[in-house]
């Protein structure tokens, strides 16, 4: 009988993905491409927010969007129809998140030599996408008012990895027990560096501030 060998590995399960993500980020920077990873729970208004943002930036940037979902292509069609920018649908095959390898595959199809601002609309989920670095230049998330101001306490990892948190649907705040100041405090507790921008994607309120943040980050990425 063969002797059984024990081989020590001592390596994080996320390490291969983290390495792949760092590599992708560096390559994108070299090419002058900015990749935004947008995350949130289902129904928080990711697609509406993107449409409002893209319509403000599409004349000054070559934008491309990757829509990641378990199934269907409704988001990719909505983006293409309402903004006119290139948009592709990625299916995760039942998986609850995208990793750096899948993001790279999507980018290979999306980036045709023109796109310099790529947006990844991640699977709607506040848990899994936070664990897997996609290789994005910056991470953004949306928390919508009906979800509640306590979400930063319940999903700490998601809030701790985001560079910017958009609080969406502020127009319905009077109808919900949502305390904006408390929510900001809860976010600060998890991530003192996160920018918090209250918006209403439907009316466009606050979207200009998000665009300003994006323009600044795109500029920094090109330095």
Partner 1 sequence: MHELGVVFHIIDDVTEVGHENNLTNIQSVTLQLGTVSTVIPDYLKDCWKWAVDRTELLKGADLIIEPIEAITYCEDCKSTYDTIEHGKICPNCGSKNTFLLQGTEFMIKEIAGS
Residues that bind partner 1 (CB under 8 A): 2-17, 95-97, 99, 125, 127-128, 131-132, 153, 156-157, 189
Identity of the residue, 5 or 114, whose beta carbon is nearer to partner 1 in the bound complex: 5
CB 90 within 8 A of CB 76: no
Identity of the residue, 99 or 163, whose beta carbon is nearer to partner 1 in the bound complex: 99
What does the alpha-carbon distance between residue 100 and residue 123 come to, in Å, rounded to a whole number? 14
Among residues 152, 153, 154, 133, which one has the least CA distance to residue 142?
152
What does the alpha-carbon distance between residue 145 and residue 150 come to, in Å, rounded to a whole number? 10
Q: What values do phi and psi take at 11, rounded to 5?
A: -135, 140
What does the alpha-carbon distance between residue 108 and residue 35 come to, in Å, rounded to a whole number? 13
Identity of the residue, 181 or 223, whose beta carbon is nearer to partner 1 in the bound complex: 181
What does the alpha-carbon distance between residue 195 and residue 210 come to, in Å, rounded to a whole number? 10
Identity of the residue, 141 or 170, whose beta carbon is nearer to partner 1 in the bound complex: 141
> 26 exposed, middle or buried (CB, 10 Å; 0-12, 13-18, 19+)?
exposed
To the nearest whole angstrom, how small is the minimum distance from the Cβ of residue 106 to partner 1?
A: 16
CB 152 within 8 A of CB 190: yes
To the nearest whole angstrom, how small is the minimum distance from the Cβ of residue 123 to partner 1?
A: 10
CB 42 within 8 A of CB 71: no
Q: How far is CA 76 from the centre of its chain?
A: 15
Identity of the residue, 48 or 92, whose beta carbon is nearer to partner 1 in the bound complex: 92
To the nearest whole angstrom, how small is the minimum distance from the Cβ of residue 150 to partner 1?
A: 13
To the nearest whole angstrom, how small is the minimum distance from the Cβ of residue 156 to partner 1?
A: 8
Identity of the residue, 7 or 30, whose beta carbon is nearer to partner 1 in the bound complex: 7
To the nearest whole angstrom, how small is the minimum distance from the Cβ of residue 127 to partner 1?
A: 5
């Amino acid at each position: 009988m063969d002797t059984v060998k024990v081989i020590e590995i001592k390596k994080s399960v996320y390490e291969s993905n983290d390495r792949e993500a760092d590599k992708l980020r560096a390559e994108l920077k070299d090419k002058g491409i900015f990749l935004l990873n947008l995350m949130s729970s289902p129904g928080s208004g990711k697609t509406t927010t993107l449409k409002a943002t893209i319509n403000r930036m599409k004349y000054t940037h070559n934008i491309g969007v990757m829509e990641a979902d378990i199934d269907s292509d409704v988001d990719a069609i909505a983006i293409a129809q309402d903004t006119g920018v290139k948009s592709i649908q990625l299916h995760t095959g039942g998986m609850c998140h995208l990793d750096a390898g899948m993001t790279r595959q999507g980018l290979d199809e999306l980036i045709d030599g023109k796109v310099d601002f790529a947006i990844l609309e991640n699977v709607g989920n506040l848990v899994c996408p936070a664990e897997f670095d996609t290789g994005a230049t910056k991470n953004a998330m949306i928390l919508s008012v009906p979800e509640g101001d306590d979400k930063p306490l319940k999903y700490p990892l998601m809030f701790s990895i985001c560079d910017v948190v958009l609080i969406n649907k502020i127009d319905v705040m009077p109808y919900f027990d949502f305390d904006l100041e408390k929510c900001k405090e809860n976010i600060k507790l998890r991530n003192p560096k996160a920018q918090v921008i209250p918006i209403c994607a439907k009316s466009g309120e606050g979207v200009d501030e998000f665009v300003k943040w994006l323009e600044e980050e795109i500029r920094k990425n090109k330095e």
